[in-house]
Amino acid sequence: MSEAAVDTARRLIGLLDLTNLESNCGPGEVKALCGRAVGPHGHVAAVCLWPQFVGEASRALRDTGVRIATVVNFPAGGEDLERVLDDMGEALGDGADEIDLVLPYRAFLRGEADVAAGMVREAKAVLQGGQQLKVILETGAFPDQASVAEACRLAIDAGADFLKTSTGKIAVSATLEAAGTMLQAIKSSGRPVGFKAAGGIRTYEDAAAYVSLAERIMGPGWVAPTTFRIGASGLLAALIAVIEGGAPSPAPNAY
């Protein structure tokens, strides 16, 4: 790989939400995930894991600069607001910095936009300080890009700090087409909203394409850990392989 590719790979590591949202994730996997989050080539932006592991990850990564992200109503986008707020309260109390909330997209798609917007507003209202709300649209479930754009506007108006493409748990995950729609919506809003691509991003080339798209739409210098994330598990090994000039190690899971 060229020197430019190595520099890009180092940059991408700092934009990564290193993720384990597999059903078989346990304490051993969490320990391994946190161990991989800080390495000789830099640290990732955040780790993203199930709520029950937030406390363990928070303790393991204290003072490293790595943020702790978790998920609620994941992956189905359930509409039980009371449960979402309860789960958020527990996770935030355990040390979560970021909440990845699935937009109740089924409600949105059946015409109940108020249900979807209300959950985002209520979730945003319980955050404090530097805590952030990342709203997962699940763009692969939408019939067209017009509806994706509409959902983006709804989530932004309701207070989302980030828009995220996908859960990675349905047939269609992140796509450059949907990412472009989302980035255009963020740009048009004029608000300081970030973007996260997640689901199926496993190679250096995949990740670099999303950075290139974001810089083309949002402008040079916009992409930073505060505005842009990639959620993945296997990608870190691929980026390290680019930097070190070797073959990537097998990923522990394939979010």
Residues annotated as part of the active site: 100, 164, 196
Gyration radius from the chain CA atoms: 17
* Helix residue ranges, H only, the chain: 3-13, 27-37, 54-60, 81-94, 105-109, 113-125, 145-158, 176-189, 204-218, 235-244
Choose among 34, 26, 47, 87: nearest CA to 232: 47
Q: What is the CB-side half-sphere exposure of residue 193 using CA atoms within 13 A?
A: 27
Contacts (Cβ under 8 Å, ≥6 apart) of 149: 181, 184, 185
Rounded to whole angstroms, what are the CA distances from 116 to 90, 111, 133, 163, 219?
A: 22, 10, 14, 14, 30
CB 152 within 8 A of CB 186: yes
Contacts (Cβ under 8 Å, ≥6 apart) of 146: none
Residue that has been written with the tokens 């509806």 in this structure: 147
CB 156 within 8 A of CB 189: yes
Query: What's the residue count for the chain?
Result: 255
